[in-house]
Homo-oligomer: A and B are copies of this chain.
Amino acid sequence: MNILIAGGAGFIGSHLSDALLELGHTVVCVDKKHNLENPRCVFYEQDICDAVKLDEIFALHKFERIYHLAANSDIQKSEKNPSIDICDTLETTINILNAMYKHGVKELLFASTSAVYGDKREILRENTGDLRPISYYGGAKLASEAMISAFTAMNGMKANIIRFPNVVGPRLTHGAVYDFIKKLRKNPKELEILGDGKQEKPYIYVKDLIEAMLFLPFEAGMNIYNAGVESATTVKKIADMVCEEMGLKDVEYKYTGGSVGWLGDVPRFQYDLSKIHTAGWKAKHTSDEAIQLAARAAL
C-alpha cells in the first residue's frame, strides 16, 4: 500500500514506519523536522499546518491510507500558548481531512488520546458521554475526532480512531521516564517529581501499540477504540524503577506537590478495553514492564 504517516519522524511514528516498511508498504513520512524517521521512507520535512504544501505532497503521491500521528507531544508546553495545540494537534487534522477529501483518500487512522475524556473517575468506555477535556491537547484531539466524524459521514471514509494511553519504549522524546533519566544524569542524588507522585496511569509499550494499529481492520464509518493495558504505574514507582535501572540508591525525591503534575494533567484514569480485546488484540506487556523496557532502552 501507498501510505502517508503524518508525524512519521516522532517517537511513535518512527516505530510505525519501521513496521509498515517491514511489511513491504511504501511509506511517505511528513514531519516538522528530521528526527527519528526511518531512512527507507520518503521523507518530507514539512509543517502539516501548511495546507498548500501538504496538498502538493498529496498530489505527488497516490496515498491509499493515512496514519495521522502528528501532534504537539508536550502537553505542558502549551499551557502558556494554546496556539501550539490549535496548530499542531487540530489544524494538522483539518488539513489532512481536507487533503483526503480533495484527493479521494478514504482510509485514516487517527492517534487520539485518553485526554479526550477529561478528568473522570469512572471506567472509560469508547461511548462514555459528557467528554470534557481539561487540556488544550485533549480539546484539540476531541475536536479532531468531531471533524473526522463529519468527514467520514459526508464522504464514505473509513476511520480508525485509537485513543492512546501514555506510550513508552525505545526512542522516547518526552514524558516521565525521559525526564527522570535526564534529571538523574545531571544530579544523581536528587530527583524533582511533578505533583505528589501518586498520579497513576496505564503505560503501554510502543511495540504493543503498533501491533494494535496494524491489526485493526478498516471498516465502514468511524470506529473508536481504547488501546491500553489493564495495569497502571504511579509516578513514584516510575522514579523507583528508573533509579534501579540506573543503579542509583538513596536518591532524594523532591515533590513539587499537588495531585496533578501540571495544569491540564489528568492524574489517573482507567480504560474499559473490552472492545479492542473482543476485536482480537491485547497488549503483551504490563504497564510496569513497559516502563522497565523503556528505561532500559534509554540507558
Residues of A bordering B, CB below 8 Å: 79, 82-83, 85-86, 90, 94, 97-98, 101, 116, 118, 125-140, 142-144, 146-151, 153-154, 222, 263-264
Contact = CB atoms under 8 A, between A and B. Distances in A.
Nearest to A132: B149
Given A82-B98, A86-B94, A130-B126, A138 B150 contact: yes
Contact of A146 (B97, B133, B154): B133
Contact of A129 (B82, B129, B137, B151): B129
Contacts of A85: 150
A75 to B, nearest CB: 11
Contacts of A137: 150
B118 A136 contact: no
A154 B79 contact: yes
Given A83-B98, A129-B130, A139 B118 contact: no
A150 B133 contact: yes
Given A82-B101, A98-B82, A98-B83, A150 B135 contact: yes
6 contacts: A86-B147, A125-B129, A139-B147, A140-B146, A143-B147, A154-B263
Given A131-B131, A136-B150, A153-B264, 4 more contacts: A79-B154, A86-B94, A131-B146, A143-B144
4 A-B pairs with least C-beta separation: A139-B150, A129-B129, A143-B143, A134-B153
Contact of A151 (B90, B139, B142): B139
A153 B135 contact: yes
A136 B134 CA distance: 24
Contacts of A150: 82, 85, 133-140, 264
Contacts of A83: 98
A195 to B, nearest CB: 17
Contacts of A116: 146
Given A129-B129, A146-B143, A147-B140, A135 B118 contact: no
Contacts of A94: 86, 90
A244 B21 CA distance: 67
Contacts of A134: 149-150, 153-154
Nearest to A116: B146
A190 B283 CA distance: 63
Contacts of A264: 150, 153-154
B151 A146 contact: no
